[in-house]
Amino acid sequence: MRLSLHEIAQVVSAQNDYSQYPDHVVSGIEFDSRKITSGDIFLPLKGARDGHAFIPVAFDNGAQATLSEVVVEGPHLLVEDCLTAFQQLASYYVQKIGVDVIAVTGSNGKTTTKDMIHDILATTFKTYKTQGNYNNEIGLPYTVLHMPDDTEKLVLEMGQDHLGDINLLSKIARPQISVVTLVGEAHLEFFGKREKIAEGKLQIADGMPKDGLLLVPNDPILKPYLPDDQEIVFFGEGAALDVTDLVEEKSRLTFQVPFIEGEVKLPVPGRYNATNAMLAAYVAKACGVTDENIKAALATLNLTRNRTEWKVAENGAEILSDVYNANPTAMRLILETFAAIAKNPGGRKLVVLADMKELGDASASLHANMRDSISDKIDKVYLYGPEMKPLAEAMASDERVLYYPDYRDFERLKADLKADLQPADQILLKGSNSMRLGQVVDLLVGE
């Protein structure tokens, strides 16, 4: 971070006399006092505990100064709201550095697409991306202020829990290129209906300059919210930009896209990942990356852990782990992918589905409707969690189904799966992260 203390003070409109403090270059900013190193500035945020209580600890660890909403001992910049000041500083820094920002959002696929865009751009440019799930009003400015000083392309993931979240993030980051991967049913509990989710996703354009590049699904639900001052490219079924000649295998895809010569190879399964790769490739091509570098980066892709990841069980069975999160669209897509993969000789296909969270009043119907996505090619279905009750009831006459309705059934579920899984089997696990299916994967793998 190339900012001096007095420069920061001016950006955040510090209300105290900061001229009494030396105008040293600040080396970084942290909201966790334990991460403070010499020369940093401390950001006390209000969470479960008020960060102002940790200002003395931050100074002990070498903080040069602190932001603060109250007068404190030691060098400080007095502001009305520390989080707002943090966001103002990030927005200023994006403009000062002159980095090109690419923003990605979507109900499904945003993290994967963000990773793909980063990996392709990194073949040609100094590139940085959102780390982990730092995609909210704290995580995005943190990412901006922690990018290396020589960053040329910054790839930011934007998440939303409520309408207006992405408007704020877009206005902080001011992206030149934005991608909406999909408008599904995630967070219906907070939005009420899918149209509001669509409205929120398209707020990604609110901070874009005129004539920026906006990629959106060819979905009629988006049409009322499309901006009229951007270059809009539609993708997917019925659009000119779509995947063709797709060949799906257990652990890889091959396909073609209309703007790249030759075949594209991807070392992960799932048609949806082909779409994500197409979007990443389109963005990279718009930034000037060659076809050769695009294809080479995708061919060696390494996705974030637990997102559509094949593993091998302790007994040799094949595990398709997709346990980081879940919404109805994502669950349908992975069930379709799993069903399309050929069975091993003498083996079965097992599916473990756990609750999808934050679906609000639509939860019962969305869980029950998942019945239509469970193919006849599936030999056994394990359902876990109280939200899965409507699906269990919808499949009550299906002898393939075993239902574990209570969270207290978790240990029994793990034991039953461990005993049932055979060496030639394939098993898919999908559910919201809070359902702890990652622990089931670890048990089956022997970790």
Annotated binding site: 106-112
- The answer to whether 267 and 115 are in contact (CB under 8 A) is no
Spell 259-268 as b/e; 16+ CB within 10 A means b: ebeeebbbeb
Whole-number Å distance between alpha carbons of 194 and 382: 28
Listed in sequence order, the residues at least 6 apart from 283 whose beta carbon sits closer than 8 Å to its beta carbon are 102, 117, 120, 121, 177, 179, 213, 215
Considering only CA atoms, which of 147, 164, 157, 189 is closest in space to residue 363? Answer: 189
The structure tokens listed for 207 are 């901070």
The structure tokens listed for 426 are 């394939």
CA distances from 417 to 316, 384, 387, 420 (A): 14, 12, 20, 5
Considering only CA atoms, which of 175, 181, 215 is closest in space to residue 91? Answer: 175
Considering only CA atoms, which of 195, 198, 143 is closest in space to residue 169? Answer: 143
Q: Which parts are annotated binding residues for ATP?
A: 106-112
